[in-house]
């Protein structure tokens, strides 16, 4: 019979397998029986693992189906925050994208391929559809070729073994599956690597798919080791393979020089204060609540994993145990499970996460936008209060609807995603205006189109500024029949982790159903609760990436 320590390690290992299976399954929803087939685990084990992951917030249930919850991005956030690359380099990546007016990505080497860890994209008719966390075949990307210039024969052998097992690259969902095995694949790959080693950069001339060009060059750490590759991507409708390197490389090289300086500076900087991680032992209350269905070994292992969140120098066994309130033996087991599964590496003393951690949910959820995240919360809000619920962002002097759930009432306003209204005449607009600096807010109010939409529309600039200032003091806005006769709306702000207002949510109803005071008493608590839930999800989803509205 296995001892308790072996069983705890096995529990964490099985939990990671289940989470990985959910995160990489072709369908977003699956049932426990499907998980048992995908992982080869007994159904009873899957039931206990999923019960624990549901309790921890990594999964959510939709009837009998399971799908990833936003908290499944926490392990990926831990890697991105701790790898020491994204924080210093992302602003420079964005600057390079602005200079070239092209999509730019940052790729790190991983056990399975070249892993995308940051990006700044340009949306056009033809645009980059990759997302952070995507893993790409080493030999089919310029970044992978550049990063392979340091490989030894053992590393090439591992690559050869994977390509033999998956000759069509079916295991890389971010790229098109090949129609057939590539001829002389290893010879071509080695020739590309030799060329990249000689000139210091690589050109992807439609290796991934027709029309896509990419130039890539390495970023080196202060010890001179290539730790990432910068990639500039374009389309053959904009550049040719002959001219694109000459256009991109001078700016790429200048940007990389700044990036390498930033890495040197970040190494000299004092480590950021380590944020407290809730001790895994606090989860014993969950054990009391769920009994045998709750796996403490899995909960503690995930606590160790997410404890890397703010340790760019990695964890030792002792610091991991201290951060999580665990015994050293417990932390050691979790760290060795992470290494054995390819999610971490060690030099014998310190442990650091590998990019493969992004496969545990981040890569699957990275494409989510503000609208995607808000929609289920708006649906819950509309169901709770029985009224239509919406989200909007400020777009110039107008609000633009980005998410909406309408009720089935007879009287309703025809609003769809993308609908725009004057910000000054709407509750969401006044909430968004109230979140602006005073000077900018005053300029927008005075420059706005203030034509009356109903007999009650405020048009006087001083009156509008006073109304917006009141919203700033009160924290919510109510607008009665200023946009449409008979329509009342109540709105609150949605803020990012810095406290900046990024959106507003509202509930709209007919004025005949209640007085303004009754409306506020009934709807405001539910509205604030929905906004708080959206903010909590945004804090996880965009912890290590710019907020995406579309």
pLDDT in tens, 474-500: 999 999 999 999 999 999 999 999 999
Are 125 and 237 contained in the same domain? Answer: yes
Given this model, what pLDDT does residue 267 score? 78
Give mean pLDDT, residues 288-303. Answer: 83
Given this model, what pLDDT does residue 447 score? 85
CATH code assigned at 30: 1.10.10.10
Q: Is the dihedral of CA 118, 123, 128, 133 positive or negative?
A: positive
Of 40-44, 46-50, 290-294, the one with minimum mean pLDDT is 290-294
pTM, rounded to two decimals: 0.91
Residues 6+ apart with CB under 8 A from 252: 96, 201, 215, 217, 230, 232
Are 100 and 210 contained in the same domain? Answer: yes
Q: How many domains does the chain have?
A: 3
Between 408 and 297, where is the model more confident? 297
Are 159 and 222 contained in the same domain? Answer: yes
Distance of CA 511 to CAs 167, 299, 426, 457, Å? 64, 49, 15, 15
Q: Among 214, 236, 268, where does a domain finish?
A: 268
Are 207 and 261 contained in the same domain? Answer: yes
Q: Among 236, 268, 300, where does a domain finish?
A: 268
What does residue 351 show for φ and ψ, rounded to 5 degrees? -115, 145
Given this model, what pLDDT does residue 283 score? 65
Are 196 and 315 contained in the same domain? Answer: no
Q: Find the domain containing 470 and state its range.
A: 370-541
Are 258 and 284 contained in the same domain? Answer: no
Rg (CA), the chain: 26
The residue behind tokens 């860890």 is: 117
Domain presence at residue 546: no
Highest mean pLDDT among 226-230, 295-299, 404-408: 226-230
Domain presence at residue 46: yes
CATH code assigned at 178: 3.30.450.40
Domain presence at residue 485: yes
Q: Among 305, 335, 365, where does a domain finish?
A: 365
Domain presence at residue 74: no
Distance CA 494, CA 542 (A): 14
Distance CA 252, CA 57 (A): 41
The answer to whether residue 48 scores a pLDDT higher than 90 is yes
Given this model, what pLDDT does residue 125 score? 45
Given this model, what pLDDT does residue 294 score? 83
As a whole number of Å, the end-to-end CA separation of the chain is: 54
Are 392 and 438 contained in the same domain? Answer: yes
The answer to whether residue 411 scores a pLDDT higher than 50 is no
Are 537 and 388 contained in the same domain? Answer: yes
Are 12 and 135 contained in the same domain? Answer: no
Are 345 and 477 contained in the same domain? Answer: no
Q: How confident is the model at residue 276 (pLDDT cuts 50, 70, 90)?
A: low
Contact (Cβ atoms closer than 8 angstroms) between residue 116 and residue 133: yes
CB-CB neighbours of 356 under 10 Å:
23
Domain presence at residue 78: no
Domain presence at residue 547: no
Q: Could you write out the three-class secondary structure of 351-417?
A: EEECHHHHHHCHHHHCCCCHHHHHHHHHHHHHHHHCCEEEEEEEECCEEEEEEEECCCCCCCCCCCC
**Strands 135-136 and 114-120, sheet pairing:** antiparallel
Domain presence at residue 548: no
CB-CB neighbours of 367 under 10 Å:
14
Distance CA 386, CA 72 (A): 31
Domain presence at residue 209: yes
Are 46 and 97 contained in the same domain? Answer: no
The answer to whether residue 410 scores a pLDDT higher than 70 is no
Are 361 and 387 contained in the same domain? Answer: no
Given this model, what pLDDT does residue 74 score? 96
The DSSP-derived string for 17-84 is HHHHHHHH-SSS-B-HHHHHHHH---HHHHHHHHHHHHHHTSEEEETTEEEE-GGGGHHHHHHHHHSS
């Amino acid at each position: 019979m296995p001892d308790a320590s072996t069983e705890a390690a096995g529990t964490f290992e099985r939990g990671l397998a289940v989470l990985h299976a959910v995160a990489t399954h072709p369908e977003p929803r699956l049932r426990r029986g499907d998980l048992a087939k995908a992982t080869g685990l007994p159904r009873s084990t899957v039931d206990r693992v999923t019960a624990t992951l549901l309790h921890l917030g990594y999964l959510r249930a939709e009837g009998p189906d399971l799908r990833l919850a936003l908290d499944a991005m926490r392990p990926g956030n831990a890697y991105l925050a701790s790898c020491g690359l994204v924080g210093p380099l992302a602003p420079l990546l964005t600057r390079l994208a602005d200079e070239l007016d092209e999509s730019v990505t940052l790729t790190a080497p991983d056990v399975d391929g070249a892993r995308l860890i940051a990006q700044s994209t340009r949306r056009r008719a033809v645009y980059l559809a990759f997302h952070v966390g995507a893993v790409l075949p080493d030999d089919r990307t310029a970044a992978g070729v550049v990063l392979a210039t340091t490989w030894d024969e053992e590393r090439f052998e591992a690559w050869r073994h994977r390509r033999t097992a998956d000759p069509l690259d079916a295991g890389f969902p971010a790229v098109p599956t090949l129609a057939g095995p590539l001829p002389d694949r290893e010879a071509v790959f080695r020739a590309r690597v030799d060329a990249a080693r000689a000139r210091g950069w690589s050109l992807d001339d439609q290796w991934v798919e027709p029309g896509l060009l990419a130039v890539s060059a390495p970023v080196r750490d202060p010890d001179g080791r290539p730790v990432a590759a910068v990639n500039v991507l374009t389309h053959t409708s904009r550049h040719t393979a002959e001219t694109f390197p000459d256009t991109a490389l001078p700016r790429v090289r200048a940007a990389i020089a700044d990036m390498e300086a930033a890495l040197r500076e970040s190494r000299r900087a004092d480590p950021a204060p380590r944020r407290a991680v809730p001790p895994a032992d606090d989860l014993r209350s969950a054990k009391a609540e769920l009994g045998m269905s709750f796996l403490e070994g899995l909960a503690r292992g995930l606590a160790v994993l997410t404890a890397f969140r703010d340790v760019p120098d990695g964890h030792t066994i002792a610091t991991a145990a201290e951060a999580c309130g665990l015994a050293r033996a417990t932390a050691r087991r979790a760290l060795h499970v992470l290494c054995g599964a390819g999610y971490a590496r060690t030099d014998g003393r310190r442990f650091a996460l590998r990019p493969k951690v992004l496969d545990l949910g981040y890569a699957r959820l990275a494409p989510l936008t503000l609208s995607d995240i808000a929609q289920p919360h708006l649906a819950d809000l509309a169901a709770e209060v029985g009224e239509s619920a919406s989200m909007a962002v400020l777009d110039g002097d107008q609000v633009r609807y980005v998410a909406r759930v309408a009720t089935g009432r007879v009287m309703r306003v025809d609003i769809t995603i993308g609908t725009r209204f004057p910000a000054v005449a709407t509750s969401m607009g006044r909430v968004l205006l109230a979140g602006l600096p005073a000077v900018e807010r005053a300029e927008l109010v005075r420059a706005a189109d203030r034509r009356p939409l109903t007999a009650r529309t405020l048009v006087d600039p001083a009156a509008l500024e006073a109304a917006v200032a009141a919203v700033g003091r009160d924290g919510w806005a109510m607008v009665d029949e200023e946009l449409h006769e008979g329509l009342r709306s109540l709105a609150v702000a949605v803020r990012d982790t810095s406290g900046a207002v990024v959106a507003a949510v509202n509930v709209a109803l007919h004025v005949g159903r209640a007085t303004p005071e009754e409306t506020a008493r009934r709807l405001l608590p539910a509205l604030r609760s929905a906004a708080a839930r959206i903010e909590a999800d945004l804090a996880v989803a965009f912890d290590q990436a710019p907020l995406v509205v579309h």
